[in-house]
Amino acid sequence: MERTLLEDYARLTTRMALGGLHMGACAVDALSCDVAGLTAEEQAALGMMDVTAGAILVVAPGGSDRGIRTVPHAGAYAEAFGGSLDTLVVADGASALAAAALARAVADAVEKPVAALVPGFGLAEMAADEMGGRLAFGFAGDMMRFTRAMMSAAAPHLVEPGDEPLAPDMIATLLDRDQSGLRLLVGHGRGAFAIAEALDRLPERRRRLTVVSLGAQAPLPDDMEAYQVIGALDALGWLNACSEKGRRVVPGAGHHLNRWVPGALPVTETLREILGSRPSASVTPMDRGKAKTAEPGPTAGTKAAD
């Protein structure tokens, strides 16, 4: 069916508005995420990166010549990397900058490249945040579905820029692949709740996984290994506490991860402590030079082909 001129104009203006909001989200993420682990060049490239929901960043530890690579979706990730990576990161923010910043901190802890999911940035998600999703992590998923349904009925063209599947769907897709080598999942804030929702759908797969949640106490299944790290001053995390499973409280820390700002939750140090204290670690640090990965693909600042 051909679109009218008015419909084309509405789509164009919506995409322009979303572009501005995306830049605003990157600015917010730059304040709350651990961007100190990224180089200035990486930060600039990630801020301008045009990635859609479901894109996956492969982030090497700081100082590695592998840097940051990107693939557009789960299928391309499986083809390029197969089961060579064992760690998946899901950030609280929706930008590539947030995903890469958390992934770099985790990669430094495990001393090898990790995968980071970009959950997307659409108008429905923004509306969900404004209606309480950001202040109530456990409520965010239901609110996103509600806003998508309402907006699809009233103005379908407004939902199109953000009509990708939700983060739990993407996580479940990555984990459910036969060749998936993922064994460690790390989520911050809403990312941790997205992981918990995805694991509810995979009762057999989750028993072989370890989850570390940061700044959140998500309703993780009882039949798996989980560690939930929360800052003593994290009002947002305590407000949304749904479980005490594996709780670890960090004195003097809040919800944000930015080490340049007082009260940051120390990701790398905390994760090293957790993994080092496990009786039989399924994920162990590996020499950076020995990490098994595919050949370098597109780097930060370039757009991967479908």
Give the pLDDT confidence score for residue 120 in this predicted structure. Answer: 61
Question: Higher-confidence residue: 144 or 245?
Answer: 245
* Closest to 120 measured CA to CA, from 24, 30, 22: 22
Q: What angle do CA 104, 110, 116 make, to 5 degrees?
A: 40
List the single range of 30-44, 100-114, 184-198 with lowest mean pLDDT: 30-44
pLDDT band at 68 (very low <50, low <70, confident <90, very high): very high
Q: pLDDT tens for residues 155-175? A: 444 444 444 457 888 899 899
Q: For residue 129, is pLDDT > 50?
A: no
Q: What is the amino acid identity at position 125?
A: E
Q: For residue 69, is pLDDT > 50?
A: yes
Q: For residue 234, is pLDDT > 80?
A: yes
Q: For residue 28, is pLDDT > 70?
A: no
pLDDT band at 47 (very low <50, low <70, confident <90, very high): confident
Give the pLDDT confidence score for residue 1 in this predicted structure. Answer: 42
Q: Strands, E, within 92-233: which ranges?
A: 114-117, 184-188, 210-214, 225-231
* Closest to 181 measured CA to CA, from 291, 24, 300: 291
**What are the structural domains, with CATH classification, of the chain?**
5-122+162-281 (3.40.50.1820)
- pTM, two decimal places: 0.75
